[in-house]
Chains A and B, each alone.
Chain A
Amino acid sequence: MRQPPDERVKRMLDFIGVKSLEELFREIPEQARLSRELDLPGPLLEWELLAHLRNMASSNVHSLEATHFLGAGCYDHHVFSATKSLIRRGEFFTAYTPYQPELSQGTLQAMFEFQSYVCRLAGMEVANASMYDGATALAEAILMAQRLRPGRTRVVISGALHPEYRAVVRTITHPLGLELLEVEPDSSWETHWERVQACINPQTCCLVLQNPNFFGTIEDMYQLQEAGEAIHRVEGLLILVVVETTSLGLLRPPGELGADIFVGEGQPLGLPMSFGGPHLGLLATKEAFLRQVPGRLVGLSHDSRGKRGYVLTLATREQHIRRERATSNICTNQALCALAVTIQLALLGPLGLKEVALRSSQAAFTAMEALAGLPGLAIPQRRIYNEFVVQTPVEPGLLNRELLNRGIMGGLDLGRFNPAWKGKWLLCCTEKSSREDISKLVSSLEELLA
């Protein structure tokens, strides 16, 4: 690619009728043209490049070398080799949005399967073909609720929803001037149901809850359903968020709990943590709300010979046709991430997913019980999925630093998000957390706290 203008280039230039490569840019004003070479590093040869990148990567601590207890919206679940190898097929990852269905049946059928998996997992009726991540999917869900319930300005949000999700919602819905009511959780890290109920009024557009919540608590589903009934009584919508989506292998699905819109983060179901992205937003809803769904949708169709096939459909909701009246501005989304999750779910099946969920939950419960026995640590939770909050006598940040020296990636210092949460430490386990890992954490903490 880097050969100087050779004979072939000259022939092409002649054919076009210009004398030089520079002349191809002649209409760009002189003062806007670069008169120098860009000040950039490189070029590196392939082995130089890999050596440089390996060197950079090696200064990061990764979950294969440190015992890992960090979650909080991004989870260290195992991604199957088969998942990784299949999404690296060039036919999948070097294609683009399937605008031409006759040449894109692979991507289209996989997206149709993805939509179907999301619906079956969440107990919903229709799902889209992906959003950027869980947080932006939630913002889109609230915008969707706004279209379904126009004129209603109040949005009630559980304070047990991931703080970054709440922050993203604030940013993206800011121009709408909504009244976002964030209800502080109770002292055992569960949604404060009475306060939530008290916030719901006829001006309320939607209620947003996360289950399992940010702190790992499995919310009281009777209370959750009652809150759902309360929002439905005022004809508002219930948006249920699941960030740790492996929990769907075990817990009652959002559709069963009365959700009108389900929002999820697909990362736990087959994507590497990758320092926070790319991950995968899930969005599913009831068929009645289909026309207000944002993003791509794949539908069943037939070809001119009567054979079954799949196409992008209901495009009249989308920006390339509807422009400023579109249901969303989203164009490129997360197709390859959706494919990875589809494949991972196919590999897991119902038994595999339940096993991942149970192992993760059991490991966390084991760790929680063990830590609760250590002097100085307090744990008010009981009903957890795979995360729990520890009240520590020292700064969690300090503990994390000390643990890191012992080869352990500790939990999240919740003080990072809220000064009221200082001294609170969010720990996570997955199916990969072994008894030995947990013992190592417990004995290290015993020493550190002594």
Chain B
Amino acid sequence: MRNRESQGLSEAESGLVFREPLVFELSGERQGGIPLEEKGLPGVDPWLPRDFLRQDLPIPQLTEQQVVRHYTRLSQWNFSVDTGFYPLGSCTMKYNPRVNEEAASLEGFAFVHPYAPEEAVQGALALMHELEHMLAEITGMDRVTLQPAAGAQAELTGMLMVRAYHRDRGNPRSKVLIPDSAHGTNPASCALCGFQVVQVPSDDRGLLSPKEISSRLDQDVAAIMLTNPNTLGLFEEHILEICEMVHEAGGLVYCDGANLNALSGVARVGDMGVDLVHLNLHKTFSTPHGGGGPGAGPLGVKASLEPYLPVPRVEKAGKLLGLKVDFPKSIGRIKAFYGHFGVLVRAYAYLLSQGPAGLKEATQKAVLNANYLRVALRDLYHLPYDRLCKHECVFSDRNQARTGVQALDIAKRLMDYGFHPPTIYFPLIVKGALMIEPTESETPETLERFVEAMRSIAREAKEEPEKVRSAPHLTKLGRLDEVTAARRPVLVAPGGQAGSSRREPSSEHP
């Protein structure tokens, strides 16, 4: 509203490019204090003392159509896997099959209460039980818990188990080795468990070297936390030796399974010597990313760690499946109820629709696509580690930096070509990193169009760098000012009682 009317514009900005206000700006009605007795609502009853009731609720009253229109318009401001190619490295933005959504919304799954008697939820428990076994088979582990809410929570769960494992042996160890290429969640999860993080540098091939590990390995190392393939998309070739060394020193091997899309059906981390591995169902197993969750992070472990698994666990008792909590060495509960069941249903449906051969083919194709892009782009963009990659490959902006074009600019310019940018500035060991993960879902034609766009941008960076540096040009909004947003944070809409001290500047809606 506001200035829009003064400019004679109606709801639309132009054509189909909507200008949509905040939901709090939609209502013309008063926003505060509606007495309880109003609108035919019953009065206050004796079991509800008036002193304990709120005086107002400052949120807008809207019609269903207003709400549907508002959020439909907002949805159209999003880029998504459904809209186009989304090669966000380390995130595995593969296609999310629609049948999985239908599966999760079946009444017998969506409307089931977690405390319903066990005999009334045998179908739900059977699904969990089967999924645990399927994920154990895929990873080569002995037991899986489906409880962790996401990858980072699985890391926390796993490291709490590592802690319990060593304490149980009367040997509380304090250090965890983590490669410098690791996801930021790894050190953060370790810190939550009170572990001291010891960083291990990658070698000149982008890999963990047994030498660097052995020099840091002692009786105080609880575990190594590695990612395989690592965040450069490279398979850790010394994995067998590394696992052996760590075990020799009494430590455990945790594998961040974020990159399992490079391995499932082809190789199993359990067979490599890994003791704990988590899986991101929202990456490898096609459950949707939801704009940033919900995900799910099942954790697989070897038998030696089974006593420490979180509770409850799905166990067979006679003919029935049940949820058991009586495990004295368990680390305890890590979230309420039993995990993101709705996400588990989707992953289960995906696995059944793929079958073992389909899973392997998906992996092969993901790696094929990534290597195709690696070779197609390496003459244009600097490729710090040029050899076979797995599900993703990492370039840098070194060639373009000569004209002042950085990874961020390349990312923003890709938007003008209709693509979501890759992950940028990660892993930290590659300066100006561009981390590209195409996944198996994309056709060769899409990959070719992406290569074309990257080629154009490389040329622009040379010939008209300002065009790249000032991108994006074709998006609804231009480049957003993230610095000021952090310096003077405004995190809630004006109005209401709270947060009103920080009103937004009056200059918007130009």
Contacts and interface: CB of A to CB of B under 8 A. Distances in A.
A339 interface: yes
B454 interface: no
A429 interface: no
Given A60-B108, A120-B497, A221-B52, A326 B268 contact: no
B398 interface: no
Contacts of A53: 103, 106, 109, 345, 349
Given A132-B150, A299-B489, A308-B508, A102 B336 contact: no
A336 B291 contact: yes
Given A256-B54, A302-B508, A416-B115, 9 more contacts: A33-B266, A41-B352, A90-B81, A103-B78, A120-B57, A276-B338, A329-B153, A332-B295, A383-B48
22 contacts: A1-B441, A2-B361, A25-B267, A28-B235, A38-B138, A40-B359, A41-B351, A50-B103, A55-B123, A57-B123, A60-B120, A62-B107, A93-B290, A102-B478, A105-B78, A115-B491, A116-B492, A120-B497, A301-B484, A303-B481, A304-B470, A350-B34
A70 B117 CA distance: 11
Interface in A258-284: 265, 272-279
Contact of B364 (A21, A316, A337, A384): A21
Contact of A94 (B119, B121, B289): B289
Contacts of A63: 111-113
B464 to A, nearest CB: 18
Contact of A109 (B77, B83, B91): B77
B479 A100 contact: no
A120 B336 contact: no
Interface string A380-404: 0011100000000000010011001
Contacts of B432: none
Interface string B471-503: 010011111111011100111110011110110
A320 interface: yes
Nearest to B149: A132
B54 A303 contact: no
A2 B489 contact: no
A324 B282 CA distance: 24
Given A92-B75, A121-B57, A331-B150, A167 B333 contact: yes
Contacts of A383: 47-49, 52
Given A90-B82, A102-B412, A136-B149, A275 B114 contact: yes
Contacts of B88: 96, 99
Interface residues of A, number: 201
B486 A313 contact: yes
Contacts of B45: 361-362, 365
Given A37-B356, A102-B478, A354 B41 contact: yes
B353 A2 contact: no
Contacts of A89: 72, 75
B115 A70 contact: yes
Interface stretch (A185-193, A200-208, A341-349, A442-450): A341-349
Contacts of B420: 100, 103
A-B CB proximity, top 3 nearest: A276-B337, A57-B108, A43-B355
B123 A56 contact: yes
A92 B80 contact: yes
Contacts of B121: 60-61, 275
Interface in B84-119: 86, 88, 91, 93, 96, 99, 101-117, 119
B61 A349 contact: yes
B78 A275 contact: no
Interface in A58-115: 58-65, 68, 70, 72-74, 76, 80, 82, 84, 86, 88-107, 109-110, 112-113, 115
A347 B67 contact: yes
Interface stretch (B245-253, B371-379, B455-463): B371-379
A127 B101 CA distance: 29
B187 interface: yes
A74 B491 contact: no
B360 interface: yes
Contacts of A11: 444
B341 A112 contact: no
Contact of A290 (B184, B343, B489): B489
B42 A119 contact: no
A328 B412 CA distance: 29
Contact of B486 (A70, A82, A299): A299
B5 interface: no
A30 B310 CA distance: 34
Nearest to B19: A307
A98 B367 CA distance: 26
Interface string B392-430: 000000000000000000011001000011010010000
B160 A174 contact: yes
In this complex, the member of B72, B192, B480 whose beta carbon has the largest number of chain A beta carbons within 10 angstroms is B480
Contacts of B36: 354, 358
Given A42-B354, A62-B112, A168-B334, A98 B292 contact: yes
B355 A41 contact: yes
Contact of B499 (A74, A119, A130): A119
Interface in A173-202: 174-176
B293 A334 contact: yes
B85 to A, nearest CB: 12
A347 B81 CA distance: 27
A436 interface: no
B219 interface: no
Contacts of B299: none
Contacts of B215: none
B16 interface: no
